[in-house]
Amino acid sequence: MKEAVTDILKHSQLSITESRLKILELFTKHNKALSHADIEKISSKNFDRVTVYRTLQTFVDKGIIHSIPTADNSVMYALCKETCTEGHHHDDHVHFICDECGNTYCLDNIDIPKVTIPKGFSTHQVNVLVNGVCKSCK
C-alpha cells in the first residue's frame, strides 16, 4: 500500500515527505472524497493546517487529486485516475453525494451525459453532481 503511494509521488516528481505520504494514503484508503476538515480529523499525525492546504493544492496541481463542486459549497477532493497529469485534468465523471451518510463518490463507470448548449456558447467542461441515497444507506 505504502509502495503505491510513494510511487505516485515519485511519478509526479514530488519529494517524499511524511505529510504527503500520510495525506495521500488517506485518499487511497478511503474510497470517497475528503474535505480539508476530514483530513485534519482522521489523520493520525496532526499536521499544521497550512501544510494540509498546501499539500492538497500541490496534489491538485500535479493531477493527483481533483476538487469537487458540491451543492453546499464545501470543498471536497478525490483521487484522479491515471489519465490526469500536471495542468491537465480529465475528471469527466459524475459525482454522487449521499444525503444520508454525506459521503461523496466519483462514479467513473457512468457516462457523462451530453448537454446541449444554446447557439453561440461553447463548452470547456461539464460537471454533473447527483444528490441521492447511496447503496449502503438504502
Partner DNA sequence: TAACATTTTGCAACATTGTTGCAATTGTAT
Partner DNA sequence: ATACAATTGCAACAATGTTGCAAAATGTTA
Q: Does 29 help bind DNA (rule: CB under 7 A)?
A: no
Q: How far is the CB of 16 from a second copy (least distance, A)?
A: 30
Binding mask 74-113 for Zn ion (x = CB under 5 A): ------------------------x-xx------------
Q: How far is the CB of 136 from DNA (least distance, A)?
A: 25
Asked if residue 39 lies in contact with residue 24, where contact means CB atoms within 8 angstroms, the answer is no
Residue whose C-alpha cell is 505520504: 21
Phi-psi region of 135 (alpha: psi -120 to 50; beta: other; left: phi over 0): alpha
Q: Which stretch binds DNA (CB under 7 A): 18-26, 83-91, 98-106, 117-125?
A: 18-26
Binding mask 72-101 for DNA (x = CB under 7 A): -x-x--------------------------
Asked if residue 6 lies in contact with residue 16, where contact means CB atoms within 8 angstroms, the answer is yes
Backbone angles phi, psi at 73, to 5 degrees: 55, 35
